[in-house]
Amino acid sequence: MPEPGFNGHPPLNYHAYAACTHGGFYRTTTLAGQHRNVLLLLRGNLKAARSAFATLKAHGCVVAISFKESGTHQIAAQLQDTRVFDAFCEIAANADLCLSSTPDLVPLYRSVSRKVAYLPTPYPIDEPNWNLSLPLEKRAGIFIGTREFDVPSRNHLLALAGVRKTSHPVTVVDKGSLGSKKLLAALRFPADQLTVLPSMSYFEYTQVLRRHRLVLQFDQSRVPGQVAGDALLCGIPTIGGNGAIEREIVPELVSDGQSFDALLERMLRLLTMDSEYNQAVESMLNRARERISFSSVRAELNKLLPGVVET
């Protein structure tokens, strides 16, 4: 298990399935074929995935599959080509397991396979080195959890507009395109309220994130939920959004069934009421230990793919 300052890919998202089972993450089948169980990520036009699937099965591997990009808008874009859709149906029908990182893709997998399971991507909250939280008195302000003005379902502009008239400091990470700079300027934040940061390494990002009291996002993409997972490692609740992770650990703070105005009101209470904030964090951590910790997901994976925990 790498330390949080590790320069490579952190043990998060799909890498986390491998990390929690003491496995590996490979870009070719050469080494992957040495494992009994393999999770094959589907991406692009699926030609490479189809070839890799055939090779792995020829090696006698038990092969589970999952989409690398699992937001509903991403899947819709990928499968709009009928050739890609046909390739997906073929691979899924022959896979030993279709592993969905969100509950929203389960119906799609079930339309072509009877071997389907939803299991959220794990987070190493039960690994002491990955407790990145700071004391409450060292947390302040709002971190905006999205950074893409050009993806409508992220609702990045809506989240920023929602906090513009609060008195709380706001931090956003921006990729720095001409268009995004113009939109940020058009929002007319007070100069001392908004901090705009460039893209950074994961370790630097968590060091910034952990200094905030909460994360706000209105992402409606129904993604696996890495923003909420990153915040979880820092002991920080995420408000808004409807990713799989936030639905697991902060269901009372997700956008499903709630208006943005109601979520902003809850945000303001969590920014000012310590008792309510502490209760929200405690509930979040308890749910996370039960559903998305490395130990809990490892146990579920071992039920789905016996022997997946390699020693």
CB-based burial, 166-176: b 16+ in 10 Å, e otherwise:
eebbbbbbbee
pLDDT by 10s per residue, the chain, length 311: 556 765 667 888 899 999 999 888 898 898 888 888 999 999 999 999 999 999 999 999 999 999 999 999 999 999 999 999 999 999 999 999 999 999 999 999 999 999 999 999 999 999 989 999 999 999 999 999 998 898 899 999 999 999 998 999 999 999 889 999 999 999 999 989 999 999 999 999 999 999 999 999 999 999 999 999 999 999 999 999 999 999 999 999 999 999 999 999 999 999 999 999 999 999 999 999 999 999 999 999 999 998 777 54
- Give the model's pLDDT for residue 34: 85
CA angle, residues 253, 73, 110, in degrees to nearest 5: 90
Tell me the two tokens of residue 146.
């999205």
How far lies 185's CA from each of 31, 104, 199, in Å? 49, 36, 18
Domain range annotation of the chain: 14-122+293-304, 128-291
Does residue 244 contact residue 227 with C-beta atoms inside 8 Å? no
Q: Which CATH architecture has domain 128-291?
A: 3-Layer(aba) Sandwich (3.40)
- Give the model's pLDDT for residue 1: 57
Q: Where are the alpha helices (DSSP H) in the chain?
A: 14-20, 29-32, 47-58, 72-79, 82-94, 106-110, 156-163, 178-186, 202-209, 226-233, 244-249, 260-272, 274-291, 294-304
- Give the model's pLDDT for residue 311: 46
Does residue 23 contact residue 34 with C-beta atoms inside 8 Å? no
